[in-house]
């Protein structure tokens, strides 16, 4: 059993028969009354994020997780298709459960697929990924008073991000997959 004292971001717990991933948590000790833990949980089945409060010391069933390296093949509008690089077994995951990760995934790239209790549930991306700019307005010199500023751009995967004015179409950029923000040129 996992206690609220052992919570870590990224752990999975079973709450009333539903599997959740711990996105964030905070231990609170009010001056009056018992301590409690405020959590932000992502439901593994559909990706919905909820806020939940638990009493300090409450226990939960730990969820068995495993990671397998798989190649992302394509998406067809409702599902994302993957292939195990060793066994060539194909796997289908509904797009709505991994929509955040799909924004930055290129076809034929390899990613880690997270299995929860032997069921594929999520895709784990590296913290930063290099992608090419497909569409961007040209940056005009003197657009800003301070020399900084951003403009919208579309990546090769279709994701929209804000980039500095000096980035042009065809440039490779590094994107933080957790926040979806431009980091640097690649």
pLDDT in tens, 77-101: 888 899 988 888 888 888 877 877 8
pLDDT of residue 78: 85
Asked whether residue 18 carries a pLDDT value surpassing 80, the answer given is yes
Average pLDDT along the chain: 84
Q: Where a domain ends, among 124, 145, 175?
A: 124
Here the CATH number for the domain that contains residue 84 is 2.40.50.140
Closest by CA to 121, choosing from 44, 65, 62, is: 44
Considering the domain architecture, whether residues 6 and 58 belong to the same structural domain is answered as yes
Q: How many helices (H) and strands (E) does the chain have?
A: 1, 16
**φ, ψ for residue 102, nearest 5 deg:** -60, -25
CB-CB contact of 158 with 105 (8 Å): no
pLDDT of residue 148: 66
Asked whether residue 144 carries a pLDDT value surpassing 80, the answer given is no
**φ, ψ for residue 101, nearest 5 deg:** -70, -35
Radius of gyration of the chain (CA): 20
Q: Give the integer Cα–Cα distance in Å for 180 and 186.
A: 15
Q: Where a domain ends, among 62, 79, 112?
A: 62
Instruction: Characterise 99 by phi-psi region: left (phi > 0), alpha (psi -120 to 50), beta (else).
Output: alpha
> For residue 96, how far is the Cα from the chain centroid?
12
- Structure token pair of residue 24: 């964030």
Of 13-22, 50-59, 147-156, minimum mean pLDDT range: 147-156
pLDDT of residue 142: 59
Considering the domain architecture, whether residues 165 and 114 belong to the same structural domain is answered as no
First to last CA, the chain: 44
- Calculate mean pLDDT across residues 158-176: 87
Considering the domain architecture, whether residues 38 and 87 belong to the same structural domain is answered as no
Structural domains of the chain, count: 3
Considering the domain architecture, whether residues 58 and 10 belong to the same structural domain is answered as yes
Here the CATH number for the domain that contains residue 36 is 2.30.30.30
Considering the domain architecture, whether residues 6 and 57 belong to the same structural domain is answered as yes
Q: Where a domain ends, among 62, 78, 109?
A: 62
Of 9-13, 46-50, 139-143, minimum mean pLDDT range: 139-143
Considering the domain architecture, whether residues 120 and 134 belong to the same structural domain is answered as no
Considering the domain architecture, whether residues 180 and 148 belong to the same structural domain is answered as yes
pLDDT of residue 99: 77
Give the full edge-to-edge strand order of the sheet including 2-3: 2-3, 59-62, 12-15, 18-28, 36-43, 49-55
Helices (H), the chain: 99-102
Give the tens place of pLDDT for each residue, 106-116: 888 888 888 88
Query: Which residue range(s) make up the domain with 11?
Result: 2-62
Considering the domain architecture, whether residues 54 and 93 belong to the same structural domain is answered as no
Of 38-47, 52-61, 63-72, minimum mean pLDDT range: 38-47
């Amino acid at each position: 059993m996992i206690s609220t004292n052992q919570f870590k971001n990224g752990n999975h717990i079973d709450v009333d028969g539903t599997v959740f991933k711990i996105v964030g948590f905070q231990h609170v000790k009010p001056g009056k009354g018992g301590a409690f833990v405020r959590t932000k949980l992502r439901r593994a089945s559909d990706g919905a994020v909820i806020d939940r409060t638990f009493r300090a010391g409450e226990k939960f069933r730990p969820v068995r997780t495993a990671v397998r390296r798989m190649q992302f093949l394509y998406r067809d509008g409702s599902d994302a298709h993957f292939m195990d690089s060793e066994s060539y077994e194909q796997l289908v995951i509904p797009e709505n459960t991994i929509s955040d990760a799909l924004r930055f995934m290129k076809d034929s790239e390899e990613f880690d697929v997270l299995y929860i209790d032997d069921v594929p549930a999520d895709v784990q991306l590296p913290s930063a990924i290099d992608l090419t700019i497909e569409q961007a307005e040209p940056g005009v010199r003197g657009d800003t008073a301070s020399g900084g500023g951003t403009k919208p751009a579309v990546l090769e995967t279709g994701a929209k991000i804000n980039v500095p004015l000096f980035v042009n179409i065809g440039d490779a950029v590094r994107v933080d997959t957790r926040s979806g923000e431009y980091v640097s040129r690649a």
